[in-house]
Structure 1
């Protein structure tokens, strides 16, 4: 697990560990019903890019990171034993990117433009607090590319000249996570959610100056999200 991955996961665990004892929550609160609202997320990605045909050297992994703004809608049903079952759908628009040197002036880039999911939720309610786990479908629009600057004195960029080329793809995969919600009032719910999404890989083509045929790259991405949510019940 990469240091950035450990840091984000540790932050999620530490944040939930600071919650007061749920057993002490005496307020009567029922989680059954619809809710929806807005979210602010911190994103950490781990992106791998490789030639479609393994004929040249490896390409360094990229680690796009940044933030996202979005929203979610959910329906939950609380049972008499305080178990909660529900479903939640969310989508966010992201500003997350990364760049890494690939030798001889060449740079590889990556970005996450949007992301979201549709997941089942199972939780346990204790008054105004609810802890839960999620599992389901995750999706994202991700992109990779490469570029060369003008005036490179040697190497690949000296041969090709300056260029910047990229491609993107809508990918889906499995998403799992956990979180906590707090009923701040009868209508307002605050939450903290961590999720990990492993996207299936995809191909994209881009044109490098001087090459007769487009270059093909295979790329896949894993995304971690630490999200603060603010929901309203309706």
Structure 2
């Protein structure tokens, strides 16, 4: 009789323990947490195209300087360029731009006006991730017109010189960047029949721009 009772108790214990044991078998084995790939590091390498707008002011050279002509006005245009970022975060690039301009001034019946200009420049910057300060310099040119209201004559020509400056650019997405820039331009001098003398222009430009990087 005792054996029967003992056997019954053992069977009951097994019946109680079986569901818990089955539940343990169903528990998943410990696994490693999934590896999360790090966010890609931004690179300035690539072609870009964009637009800009700003303000310019300058000083006449040659006869324009004698007359006290100091053209100023608004500018706006577009730019295209290419950057390559090196392993040490130095960024090398080249950029060309063309600008419409309202820079002009009048004195003693003579008007000097630059209605468009452009530059082709090298750029050297340093990438702090999405922020890049840079220096720039190269060739500059501008279409200059000198009008003599006293004689009713006008002459125009393309001045050619150099430019140097700097700025800072910020990438707010992987494709879109904004920049602020300063340029100093010395466009040299040329002879104008309208005043019978050489005339030229030096100018400073400040502008803000936006670029799309491919």
Indicate whether the TM-score tops 0.5: yes
Take 2:193 and 2:159, find their aligned partners in 1: how far apart are those partners?
16
In structure 2, the partner of 1:136 is: 138
Take 2:68 and 2:187, find their aligned partners in 1: how far apart are those partners?
15
CA displacement at 1:96 relative to structure 2: 1.7
Map residues 1-234 of structure 1 onto 2, 5 A cutoff: 28-50=41-63, 59-100=66-107, 102=108, 107-148=109-150, 163-206=151-194, 216-234=196-214
Mark the runs of 5 or more structure 1 residues left unpaired by the alignment: 1-25, 52-57, 149-162, 207-214
CA displacement at 1:27 relative to structure 2: 8.8
Take 1:176 and 1:48, find their aligned partners in 2: how far apart are those partners?
18
CA contact (8 A) 2:62 2:189 kept: no
CA contact (8 A) 1:112 1:141 kept: yes
Runs of 4+ more than 3 Å apart: none
Mark the runs of 5 or more structure 2 residues left unpaired by the alignment: 1-38
CA displacement at 1:165 relative to structure 2: 2.2
CA contact (8 A) 1:132 1:179 kept: yes
CA contact (8 A) 1:174 1:197 kept: yes
CA contact (8 A) 1:28 1:128 kept: no
> Considering only CA atoms, is the larger Rg found in Structure 1 or Structure 2?
2
Aligned residues: 176
Take 1:109 and 1:180, find their aligned partners in 2: how far apart are those partners?
35
Report the TM-score when normalising by structure 2: 0.77
SS in 2 for 1:200: strand
Cα RMSD, aligned residues only? 1.9
CA displacement at 1:167 relative to structure 2: 1.3
SS in 2 for 1:127: coil
In structure 2, the partner of 1:19 is: none
Report the TM-score when normalising by structure 1: 0.71
CA displacement at 1:41 relative to structure 2: 1.9
